[in-house]
Amino acid sequence: MKRLLFLMSLYLFSPLCIAAGESKPLDSVYVNLSDKASMQRGARLFVNYCLPCHSAAYMRYNRMAEDLDISEQVLKENLLFASDKVGDLMTTNMSAKDGKKWFGVQPPDLTLVAKVRKPDWIYTYLRSFYMDENSPSGWNNTLFENVAMPHILYGLQGNQRLAGTDPETGKPEFTLVSEGSLTPEEYDATVRDLINFLVYLSEPVRLKRHSIGVFVILFLLVFMILAYLLKKEYWKDVH
């Protein structure tokens, strides 16, 4: 019983604890799980830029392709780098040992990261890398200080330096010192695609749940009309 109470309080208070630890201001991202095109672009970014180090080991390629309307041909030609069978789990080719050796920590599995870290956090994180000569990778991150991950998307975003902090919002300010292949707006949209994909990845059934929800509401509406007509029919004779 005590154990149960303890677990229940942990469950109830954990969001508060996480919120308390999350003192840094975040930028918000609009997540839209009906935007399949965005999630497809996110999937492509994910296998190209993230899978070399991180796994998404609870997801299979063919399940992802089916959920996101990606044809088998596109899957085979564009998304299968780390593996050769469509039914494989999305594991990384980098061994845990190499990860430790190269980065000091093993890059964590990202299947559930959108649940653990929340979309706004990851969105802010991927836009907060800046050049720092004192860090082993050459980059640091205002949201995740002394992070071991290098700025993988710098080719797209360009390189920025930390310019200071906005006194009103408390958010860090950056200046772009070398341009990437994307404009800042395009980069934000690209990161949003990745977030959309990561949110899908953390709970694939949500795609289905949405369509089931619509179906249930429609059913209830039709049922209500039928019930109303039936009521009218019954009471006709009473009056």
Chain residues in the site for ligand HEC (CB under 6 A) = 49-50, 52-54, 103, 105, 107-108, 110, 113, 116-117, 122, 125, 147-150, 152-153, 194
Nearest distance from C-beta of residue 182 to ligand HEC, angstroms: 13
CA distance 41 to 49: 12
- For the chain, what's the residue count? 239
Nearest distance from C-beta of residue 2 to ligand HEC, angstroms: 31
Residue closer to ligand HEC (CB basis): 64 or 152: 152
Q: Name the residue among 5, 109, 18, 98 with its Cα closest to residue 57.
A: 109
Q: Name the residue among 172, 139, 179, 130 with its Cα closest to residue 157.
A: 179
CA distance 153 to 233: 66
Residue closer to ligand HEC (CB basis): 25 or 108: 108
Q: Name the residue among 147, 153, 152, 115 with its Cα closest to residue 132.
A: 147
Number of C-beta neighbours around residue 81 at 10 A: 11
Nearest distance from C-beta of residue 107 to ligand HEC, angstroms: 4
Q: Which sign, positive or negative, has the C-alpha torsion 135, 137, 138, 140?
A: negative
Nearest distance from C-beta of residue 98 to ligand HEC, angstroms: 10
CA distance 71 to 100: 36
Nearest distance from C-beta of residue 168 to ligand HEC, angstroms: 27
Residue closer to ligand HEC (CB basis): 64 or 149: 149
Residue closer to ligand HEC (CB basis): 4 or 20: 20
Number of C-beta neighbours around residue 113 at 10 A: 21
